[in-house]
Structure 1
Amino acid sequence: MAIPANPDTVEHLSNHPLLRTGDLDEARHRVGQKFCDHRLDFAKRHQDLAVRHNHAAGRHCSINYLHYGADVTIDPGMLDSFYLLQIPLCGQASVRHRGAEILADATTATVLNPDRDALMRWSADCRKLLLQIDRNYLETVARQLIGAELPGPIRFASRVDLLAPGGRRLRQMVCACVQAAEVGILFQGRLRGSDIRVEQDLARELLTRLPSNISHIIERADHGSVPPGVRAAMGFIHVNLSNPIQLTDIAEHAGMNVRTLQKGFRRAFGQSPMRVLRNARLDAAHYHLMAQRDTPDVTTVAFSNGFSHLGRFARDYKGRFGHSPSQTARRQYTP
């Protein structure tokens, strides 16, 4: 009988290869292109480097598998533009950040904050999954959560207990994203509505599951008071942005009558369910027009996000964003 592979030593995201090298300078340069400039050195002499870096990215987040194959020290200084959640799969890493020295392993992850220096030492057998989230995007999601401006930079506690509920949930989410990317349904280059939702979910989970200097503000905002039926309705809306759903469909999925659903949305969001649906579709369309790599087709974007009437789509889009869909497209592709 064959012995199954240790899941902690499996090379994840192998269908998204970015770097294979034994050269220290190339590793420093190529890894730095996806993260930031940093110093990379051998922690012990007479070792052979065997870097494997796999990478799948959305617009605001990326998921990565990284293994150096040698004892190395990594000095990125301050990350500046992004947060980095590092989840060891095996091996160990010593992480110095925000005045603390953390020994990261399969039970302990770390978060690097962008405005504080970091210094790391990875063991030769250390393999990690890395979740990178754009700083500006995380701050935008945080403002949405608290319904107000932030008092200052968001700073997370550096140590993440992967055995505690919050850490365990984050690890599950990152692993689920990795699996989705591996089977071709997430972060495949051409961004889709599912990518948008996943990025938002990842940012929200970081903000609500991990202790930070705004945890008390998020808790005070009491977004957990949204009734379960309304939360179920919101989930149904986001899954069906491109489908021709009606108010009765939303109510049926939420297990509520139409009138109760309308009252619940008015209390929670100050809008009707159909207005929330329309705005979610407009936001997704705007995102696609901003994110496309090829020349965007406004008609395709409109239809793929649930709009069947182009004139009404253009009118509503301009009302929400202050300019037409075609103007958004031209801004993105003007040399």
Structure 2
Amino acid sequence: MLSEKLVEVLAAVEVLHLPTTVELRRAYRHVGTALDYMRAHFSDIDTMVEVADACGISTRTLESAFRLVLGTRPYAVLTAFRLEEARRLLSRPDSAPTVTEAAIACGFSHLGRFAAAYRARFGEAPSTTRSRRGAVRHGPKDTARTFFQGAAEFG
């Protein structure tokens, strides 16, 4: 086809760089190592330099590998890990932390940015998730008991 020919021509004159199999394998390995590190240390990571150092590569190589393999930046993936953990903490039926405590525990230092990112990701404020957690804990049995206690007073 014409599009395939165009890609061949652009690659031949080095206008378009197509990754080789070796480059792809290397990129997948770098991304896998970085993901493992991010999962284990998501709340402690301050910069992508730390992640790159843990992988034994430069930040530029890390960025390139993420773009090639996942089509996104490493910081976006780190933020997603942090948000997922914050949601898990806020949803716990037992002693869930406050929104501030969850944000800080997950590595967010700016609470406004945390709340905006949380809302963009999950479609609700972190406080809504936390308050719904309370509603789940006081489920139908508690509601029925409250109703019958109130009815007994009238009667």
- Name the residue aligned to 2:51: 250
Residues in 2 aligned to 1:273 and 1:239: alpha-carbon distance in whole angstroms: 15
Structure 2 partner of 1:305? 106
Unaligned ranges ≥5, structure 2: 1-24, 139-155
Instruction: Tell me what 2:71 maps to.
Output: 270
- Relative to 1, partners in 2 of residues 1:296 and 1:271: Cα closer, same or farther, differing over 3 Å? same
Larger Rg over CA atoms: 2
Match of 1:111 in 2: none
Are residues 265 and 299 of structure 1, via their aligned partners in 2, closer, same or farther at CA, if it must alter by over 3 Å? same
So what's the TM-score if we normalise by structure 1? 0.32
Read off the aligned partner of 1:310 and give its amino acid letter. L
1:278-316 C-alpha deviation (Å, 9 max, x unpaired): 111001111111124125311111110001111110010
2:61 aligned partner: 260
4+ residue runs over 6 A deviation: none
Q: Work out the CA distance in 1 between the residues paired with 2:87 and 2:44.
A: 17
Match of 2:94 among 293, 296, 299: 293
The structure 2 residue matched to 1:332, chosen from 125, 133, 136, is 133
Alignment-derived partner of residue 237 in structure 1: 38
Q: Which residues of 2 match residues 131-210 of structure 1 at below 5 A?
A: none
Provide the TM-score with structure 2 as the length reference.
Answer: 0.67
Give the number of equivalent residue pairs.
Answer: 111
Question: What corresponds to 1:320 in structure 2?
Answer: 121
Q: Provide Cα deviations, 1:189-211, integer angstroms capped at 9, x if missing partner.
A: xxxxxxxxxxxxxxxxxxxxxxx
Match for 1:284 among 79, 85, 105? 85
Post-superposition offset of 1:244:
3.6
Q: Which amino acid aligns with 1:326?
A: S
Look up the equivalent residue of 2:48 and give its one-letter code: L
Task: Structure 1: give runs of 5+ residues left out of the alignment.
Answer: 1-224
Conserved in 2, the CA contact under 8 Å of 1:295 and 1:333?
Answer: no
More helix by share: 2
Partner secondary structure for residue 250 of structure 1: helix
The structure with higher relative contact order (CA 8 Å, sep 6+) is 2
Residues 253-274 of structure 1 deviation map (CA, whole Å, 9 limit, x = unaligned): 1111111111111122111011
Aligned Cα RMSD in Å? Answer: 1.5
CA distance in 2 between counterparts of 1:302 and 1:236 reads 20
Given the superposition, is the C-alpha separation of residues 295 and 227 from structure 1 closer, same or farther in structure 2, using an over 3 Å criterion? closer
Q: Aligned residues: percent identity?
A: 35
2:88 partner amino acid:
Y
Q: What are the residue-to-residue correspondences of 1:17-28 with 2, within 5 Å?
A: none
Change (3 A) 1:251 1:244: closer
